[in-house]
Amino acid sequence: MKTRGVSKSPYYRGLFREWEIAVAKKLVNEFQQMWQCLRKEEFDDLLQECLIHWLFARGEYDPTRRVSQQTFMGRVIRHKLTDLVRERETDKRKAAYLTVSLDEPLGDDQDDRTLLDKIDESTATDAPSDGLSQVLLKVDLSKALRKLTSQQQRLCRLLGEGGLTVKEASECLKTSRSTIYDEIERIRKIFRKEGLEDYLE
């Protein structure tokens, strides 16, 4: 598996020692080889998530417990990667049974607009006046949304209805901005595949 020279990246300069980056790289590589759900993830994104997690956990190291800092870090990173595997596997299972209601409010409030309302607004001026075109668009959109993971759907709500920035969405979802940009690109590909390019903002 090809890895990049992350240790030389200016983003990591001064934050981590060479051995910390080496431990994280080794474990990310190991987990990507073991777990199919992590193979689709960018190596650098996973490495960044693990290193950020370690940055906050590093202060919990207790040298009186007779465990080296490298061993402690290994445990912390393994737990983080195990959590990521569980999350990805859960998302995959949810996506398999996911259904999207066109009448369900997009926000948490029952008075929020529904997906059906949003589709009606976006097609009111562009679509032909016959109802068949609107029905077909709704079916296509529903089909595309069913192909999104629960996290991708949540991201759509945060960026679209919630009006959040990428930075705010990354904080809300507790993931890196680069992962958010990757997710947006995956969503765009799904919409393009369904012929819904015009619906993308």
Supply the CATH number for residue 188's domain: 1.10.10.10
In a domain, 158, yes or no: yes
End-to-end Cα separation, the chain, in angstroms: 35
Q: How far apart are CA 6 and CA 25, in angstroms?
A: 9
CB-based contacts of 118, cutoff 8 Å, min separation 6:
106
In a domain, 41, yes or no: yes
Give the bridge partners for 105, in sequence order: 114
Out of 65, 96, 127, a domain closes at 96
Whether residue 77 sits in one domain with residue 129: no
Domain that holds residue 193: 115-199
SS3 of residue 53 by DSSP: helix
More confident residue, 56 or 92: 56
Out of 96, 125, 150, a domain closes at 96
Whether residue 143 sits in one domain with residue 74: no
Whether residue 42 sits in one domain with residue 89: yes
Q: How far apart are CA 163 and CA 72, in angstroms?
A: 40
Out of 96, 127, 144, a domain closes at 96
Tens-place pLDDT, residues 19-46: 999 999 999 999 999 888 888 888 988 9
Whether residue 119 sits in one domain with residue 77: no
Question: Average pLDDT for residues 57-62, to the nearest whole number?
Answer: 88
CB-based contacts of 67, cutoff 8 Å, min separation 6:
none
In a domain, 188, yes or no: yes
Whether residue 65 sits in one domain with residue 26: yes
Q: Quick check: 91 and 151 in contact, CB under 8 A?
A: yes
What DSSP line would sit under 137-154, residue for residue? HHHHHHHHHHTS-HHHHH
Q: How far apart are CA 158 and CA 195, in angstroms?
A: 23
pLDDT band at 7 (very low <50, low <70, confident <90, very high): very low
Tens-place pLDDT, residues 144-173: 777 888 888 888 778 776 678 888 888 888
Whether residue 86 sits in one domain with residue 32: yes
